[in-house]
Amino acid sequence: MTDTPDLDDAVTPLVPRRRTSKLAIVGAGAVGSTMAYAALMRGAARSVALYDINKAKVQAEALDLGHGIQFMPMAEVVGSDDIAVCADADIVMFTAGAKQKPGQTRLDLAEATISLVRKVLPAVVEVAPDATYVMVTNPVDVVTYAALRISGLPPSRLFGSGTVLDSSRLRYLIARETGVAVQNVHAYVAGEHGDSELPLWSSASIGAVPLLEWNGLGGRGGALTSEVRERIAREVVDSAYQIIEGKGATNYAVALAGSRIIEAVLNDESRILPVSSLLDDYYGISDVCLSVPAVVGAKGVEDRLAVPMSADELAGMRRSAEAVKDVARQFGF
């Protein structure tokens, strides 16, 4: 007859509970609240914290989002006007800033937004010192450069959402023109997130076909001639102005673009995204934040791809760099 083991001997040692991923969003306006919604719907983070100086607004947004948790992946949502709500965040999306009015360029917003970043960002960094920071506020390239100088954070851990949204707009328009699924279009917009941005046509492809060699598919779309490409490029730039004119703000697509960045960081995906980061001798371009295809993972911006560019594209990148630098210099950066 064998002895029955003492129950005390069979107790499994307690395993420390794994800390859940935390997303903090600074600013509960149209972009910030929609980004929280998109991140929750995609299950991008287990804990979402909204911070805004408008207490009633931020608490209402969090409550409204929380009421829908039953219909999305399980998560916790909190909202507060106390910066401590951002404590220990893994990633911070900075969406607060001056609202772009009809007729204003993104660069027109720089002064008010940089002033706000100077006031708020150091306090967020104090409570979330180990987070990866993504600046979403326009003009995102100038704001990202200023935020790096204000915060002292390394360029890998603070970068801008850049032209992730613009590249999505570009792919959408190419797909519409050619009659193929947008998921099979591979193309990037580089440079400033603004009027001087440029599509990288020479490296773009549809399926495995170089875009510049695309001749169409019967009745489903024609060749992408220089005239068609120029029209598409202009529509990518003008689309934000059209949306702002019509409804006051862009929020859905930028929130989805932001969610993709959040997932790349929190899931350590090493995903290639055209985010805005501090360049150092990228085709001779340095000391400016611009968007180029970059590897984004748990460490933030881990590397930048030396994408082949035509002479015209390189010239466009340099013009874009000078446009952003000119604005940064106006504010002492």
Catalytic machinery residues: 193
Cα separation of 256 and 259, whole Å?
Answer: 5
Query: What helix, strand, coil percent values describe the chain, rounded to 5?
Result: 45, 20, 35
Nearest to 128 by CA among 88, 81, 75, 71: 88
Structure tokens at 27: 């600013």
Residues whose CB falls within 8 Å of the CB of residue 191, separated by 6 or more in sequence, listed in order: 163, 197, 198, 290, 291, 316, 317, 320, 321
Structure tokens at 306: 């030396």
Structure tokens at 11: 């107790």
How does strand 91-94 pair with strand 132-135? parallel
155, 296 in Cβ contact below 8 A? Answer: no
Angle at 147 between CA 144 and CA 148, to 5 degrees: 90
The DSSP-derived string for 261-295 is HHHHHHTT--EEE--EEEESSBTTB-SEEEE--EE
Angle at 291 between CA 289 and CA 296, to 5 degrees: 100
180, 207 in Cβ contact below 8 A? Answer: yes
